Structure 1
Amino acid sequence: MNFPHLVSLAAYLASHGVLCLRFTCKGLNIVHRTKAFKTVVEYLRHSDDYKLSGVFLAGRSMGSRAAASVIRHLGQEDDDDSFIQGLICLSYPLHRPKLQSKLQDEDLLLIKCPVLFVSGAADEMCEKQLLEGVASQMKAPKKIHWIDKANHGMAVKGRTADDVMEEINVQVFTWLRENTELENK
């Protein structure tokens, strides 16, 4: 939850009028994370305190896998899956380092809502050619933004972390505006 990229993105989006809810799930297990994410989504969907017409789910690394899993499962359970309007994947872990033969793409292939991937072009857990191949098989509208020379942690030799985060933030906000009815803010 307090990962610098997520803090920066939430602050940037909030400064542009987009409400963000950040939460953490301490367990590393994908099943546990998915259950936690699903609980938050269901709370927001049915809350009397918040009258939301829809949300975008986002996550970084395993958080983006959990978000994809939630979207897939909620979409299968409910014919009206319009509450979740899109998915933002920062550093999606498509495969384990040096184990490109076993892709973690099953949820991505069944998602119907728009998806934005922001990945490092040198990410050891998301080889560029493999993600582009998976994206070409997806039914959902998708966009991939590659951060040149970035690794899985989005570190780029010769660039400051703030500079990289600014690029990520602008890409996410631009994509959100393209995929929602946000006013020009």
Structure 2
Amino acid sequence: MAEARNLTIAVNESESVTAMLYPAARKNRARVTILLGHGAGADQMSGFMRMVASGFAARGLDAMTFNFIYKEKRKSVPDPKAKLEACYRSVIEAAIANKKLKGNKLVIGGKSMGGRIASQVAAEHSEGIDGLVFLGYPLHPPGRPDKLRDEHLPKIKAPMLFVQGSRDAFGTEAEIRAITKKHRLRAELYVVESGDHSFKVPKSIAPQQQVYENVMDEVAKWVRLI
């Protein structure tokens, strides 16, 4: 498998972000690009983001990650909603225009906030987007199940895959099932049993790395079928 490549993507006239392209393993390449935004607290070089991106590449997907502008500037507070969405749209455009990814289907999503921003972008403009993958969708703030972030989801035309820990404080298995049923979403749910928001499970349940491998297997299998 080829090494990850560093890219620079312009977001506007004065700001750009860094992206990483993890080329798919040639032997089982699926002709799919999976574009992943990071969560609110960690950038694209976090252990989790690098693990899933390289794992998807090993499974035949061209994986691409990127920093939102605030992380590119090494800030801790996320940018306003409009700026986060503008950044994600710019990266989508760059992925579509990338000659090495030409002809690929495009699946967007990400970890927590990254997935939520992807869903907001897809709800407004879904052209060129073939699917969405949410690695721990932040349905609501912890302890605030009344503050749902689901009103835009019915506008998404592409199929969706929610990967959710059964004890995720940002949205349990039952809560995700409820919103998919309520909105009649074109969605599937893969549950990480006893998993939290980062899919971490108690040691008595299963080896942690195996849990991550299972998640990557399920995502790779799903994107090949859309």
Calculate the TM-score normalised by the size of structure 2. 0.70
Verify the 8 A CA contact 2:162 2:189 in the aligned structure 1: yes
SS state of the match for residue 21, structure 1? strand
- Percent identical pairs in the alignment equals 25
Shift of 1:160: 3.4
Q: Which residue of 1 aligns with 2:146?
A: 101
Distance of 2:214 and 2:131 partners within structure 1 = 20
SS state of the match for residue 62, structure 2? coil
Verify the 8 A CA contact 1:116 1:143 in the aligned structure 2: yes
Structure 1 residues 134 and 99, CA gap change in structure 2 (3 angstroms) = same
**Unpaired stretches in structure 1, ≥5 consecutive residues:** 76-80, 180-185
| Cα shift readout 1:18-72 (whole Å, capped 9, x = no counterpart) | 1111111125234322211111112233456752453100200000001101111
Question: Would you say 1:157 and 2:202 are equivalent positions?
Answer: yes
Report matched runs for 1:29-68 at 5 Å.
29=79, 30-47=81-98, 50-68=101-119
Q: Which structure shows the higher helix fraction? A: 1
Q: Which residue of 2 aligns with 1:90?
A: 135
Distance of 1:2 and 1:138 partners within structure 2 = 35
Structure 1 residues 140 and 45, CA gap change in structure 2 (3 angstroms) = farther
- What is the aligned residue count? 173
Shift of 1:105: 0.6
Distance of 2:183 and 2:114 partners within structure 1 = 20
Calculate the TM-score normalised by the size of structure 1. 0.85
**Unpaired stretches in structure 2, ≥5 consecutive residues:** 1-43, 72-76
